[in-house]
Amino acid sequence: MTSQQPDGTPDQPQRPNTAAGLSALFDFNFDTFVTPVIVKIVYMIVTVLVVILTVGIAITGISSMFQGGAGIILGLLLIIASPIIGLVYLAFARMSLELYYAVIRLSEDVHHRGRL
């Protein structure tokens, strides 16, 4: 059963207020969690770095194709493998960040219920 607010609607679980900016980083009591905010920024940075890595591998493959001989085969392999490598890196980064985020959300819920 869910409790009802005075207007008859079920109340929603309250999320703790997260301090914005640098103040959450210097919260030595660990009352606020900064990880949910940082995870989004880190994922954007990782995505940009993976795109740069993927393009770099593809450019390396193209340049090795012009060397002739076995470089043509190596170049084709690098061009084909670069998007696969990029997607694998991005998937592992995403899974890792989601794990961190889930642990923090669990901790926030436990921390919030302890205050009730």
Per-residue pLDDT of the chain (116 residues; tens, 9 = 90+): 555 555 555 555 445 444 455 677 777 777 777 888 889 999 999 999 999 999 999 999 999 988 888 889 999 999 999 999 999 999 999 999 999 999 988 888 887 777 66
CB atoms within 10 A of CB 85: 15
- Who's near 56: CB < 8 A, 6+ residues apart? none
Angle at 24 between CA 37 and CA 29, to 5 degrees: 130
Chain centroid to CA 103: 13
CB atoms within 10 A of CB 52: 11
Nearest Cα neighbor of 47 from 95, 89, 17 is: 89
Q: How far apart are CA 29 and CA 101, in angstroms?
A: 20
Q: What is the pTM of this model?
A: 0.69
